[in-house]
């Protein structure tokens, strides 16, 4: 059987997230690590906390808001391994967000990021990503840098070793 771990970061949410995560750990086992923030430090800090605690050779990041489909993960991992990549980023091809409020600004930002960095990723904002552990651990994320993860990864590996694949996306 393949071993793995799940690191869930409660980003300081004031809802029932913390209690639900603790119950899941009790029910499912100690392969689940729950990290609780005292207050909300933002998505990037939560991702960095999970990456810091991860011990695997492959690390997957994703939001807990259920917009991404965990069923995409095995396909992304296989794509990464088959193509000898260091990172595979999810691409919300059929994005289920408001056109003006979310999609348009995202398209503009992604175009600028591609032009400036040379990293050909269409959707830098998708949090569903697979990394080789030793590569992502060379990058330190802070501020709102989770939107630029592919560019930061390209600073420690060849940009051609960064791929992208279409993933499912659900409405908020």
Helix (H) or strand (E) segment spanning residue 107: helix 104-117
Looking up tokens 């590569």, which residue turns up? Answer: 135
Q: What is the DSSP string of 147-171?
A: GGHHHHHTTTS-GGGEEEEE--B--
How far apart are alpha carbons 59 and 55 in whole angstroms? 8
Structure token pair of residue 54: 């991860």
Q: What is the pLDDT of residue 85?
A: 97
| pLDDT for 68 beyond 90 | no
Phi and psi, residue 157, nearest 5°: -150, 170
Structure token pair of residue 123: 């959707």
Which range, of 55-59, 77-81, 97-101, 118-122, averages the lowest pLDDT? 97-101
Model pLDDT for residues 73-104, shown as the tens digit of each residue: 999 999 999 999 999 999 888 766 555 656 66
Count of Cβ atoms closer than 10 Å to residue 159 Cβ: 17
Structure token pair of residue 32: 């689940």
The mean per-residue pLDDT over the stretch 146-161 comes to 89
């Amino acid at each position: 059987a393949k071993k793995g771990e799940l690191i869930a970061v409660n980003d300081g949410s004031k809802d029932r997230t913390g209690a639900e995560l603790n119950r899941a750990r009790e029910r499912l086992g100690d392969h689940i690590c729950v990290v609780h923030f005292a207050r909300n430090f933002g998505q990037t800090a939560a991702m960095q906390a999970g990456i810091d605690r991860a011990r695997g050779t492959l690390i997957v990041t994703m939001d807990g808001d259920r917009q991404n489909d965990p069923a995409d993960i095995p396909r992304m991992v296989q794509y990464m391994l088959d193509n000898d990549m260091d990172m595979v980023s999810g691409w919300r091809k059929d994005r289920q967000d408001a056109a003006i409020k979310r999609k348009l600004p995202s398209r503009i930002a992604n175009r600028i990021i591609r032009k400036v960095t040379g990293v050909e990723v269409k959707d830098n904002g998708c949090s569903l990503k697979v990394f080789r552990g030793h590569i992502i651990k060379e990058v330190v994320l802070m501020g709102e840098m989770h939107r630029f993860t592919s560019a930061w990864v390209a600073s420690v590996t060849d940009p051609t070793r960064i791929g992208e694949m279409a993933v499912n996306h659900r409405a908020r």
